[in-house]
Chains A and B, each alone.
Chain A
Amino acid sequence: MIPAMLEGINFSFTVSTFIALASLVLAFFIKKPDLHATEEEKERVYKRRYAD
């Protein structure tokens, strides 16, 4: 039973590896935020994107 369980755990971690790999791909799209943007500018961008 133990080898079967080990196989199950390994399979689960393999899937977990692919989930982590998906995160790694997404990390390449991270951009540095504009830290000098004023609150008004942030508000304007936020409203343009999310407001009704």
Chain B
Amino acid sequence: MFALSSVISVTLSMAMFSAMILMPISPIESGLLMLPGAIIMGIMSPVTGRLFDCYGAEVLAITGLAIVVYTTFLFSNLSLETGYFEIMAIYTLRMFGISMVMMPVMTNGLNQLPMKSYPHGTAINNTLQQVSGAIGSAFLVTLMNTRTESVAQNLIAGGPQNKRP
């Protein structure tokens, strides 16, 4: 169960950190865009703790991840008409979903370990999160650049493919 919680936390970190890097706006705008999401995460921490005590990690993780999947899907349909506040709202909702997953899943995994292994478990989780965040960002930014390059070449060549309706 600890291994499962670590794997979930790894995949979620890959998705989470990449969204912060992929936003194509200025640093001040992207900082302001992420502010409500960070505030929501801070507010939700104690609330999620209580919900975890009542319902357990499974319910919270499934609900939170469903929100994350939906909001990430919304991010995959960005267009030139998508407004700044629309992106902010989606990102805030996404962070709300992440706050429902991260802490309960990690706590659930740590609860399986004997008490003397808690420091090791926490260290493993923190390390995996940082490493997976770095790998996920690198992977998704590489995908973005490769795709941008190929679409740009097609557009320059005047090809009809990859044009959005």
Report B71 CB to chain A, min CB distance, Å.
9
Tell whether A32 pairs with B72 under 8 Å between CB atoms, given A3-B164, A12-B22, A42-B114: no
In chain A, residues 1-45, which have Cβ atoms closer than 8 Å to a Cβ of chain B? 1-17, 19-24, 26-33, 35, 39, 42-43
Tell whether A46 pairs with B75 under 8 Å between CB atoms, given A20-B65, A21-B69: no
- Complex Cα gap A39–B146 (Å): 51
Residues of A within 8 A of B (CB): 1-17, 19-24, 26-33, 35, 39, 42-43, 46
- Complex Cα gap A29–B117 (Å): 23
Tell whether A46 pairs with B56 under 8 Å between CB atoms, given A10-B78, A11-B147, A13-B75: no
Q: Would A10 and B77 count as touching, CB distance under 8 A?
A: yes
Contacts A12-B143, A17-B76 given; 15 further ones with Cβ under 8 A? A3-B163, A6-B79, A7-B162, A8-B145, A8-B148, A9-B144, A12-B18, A13-B19, A13-B73, A16-B76, A19-B15, A21-B69, A27-B105, A28-B62, A30-B105
In chain B, residues 43-76, which have Cβ atoms closer than 8 Å to a Cβ of chain A? 56-58, 61-62, 65-66, 68-69, 72-73, 75-76
Chain A, residue nearest B153 (CB) = A4
Q: Would A9 and B22 count as touching, CB distance under 8 A?
A: yes
Residues of B within 8 A of A (CB): 1, 4-5, 7-8, 11-12, 14-15, 18-19, 22, 24, 56-58, 61-62, 65-66, 68-69, 72-73, 75-80, 101, 105, 108, 111-115, 117, 136, 140-141, 143-149, 151-152, 155, 162-164
Q: Would B1 and A30 count as touching, CB distance under 8 A?
A: yes
Chain B residues within an 8 Å CB radius of A12:
18, 22, 140-141, 143-144, 147
Chain A residues within an 8 Å CB radius of B19:
13, 16
- Complex Cα gap A31–B73 (Å): 27
Q: Would A30 and B108 count as touching, CB distance under 8 A?
A: yes
- Complex Cα gap A23–B136 (Å): 14
Chain A, residue nearest B104 (CB) = A30
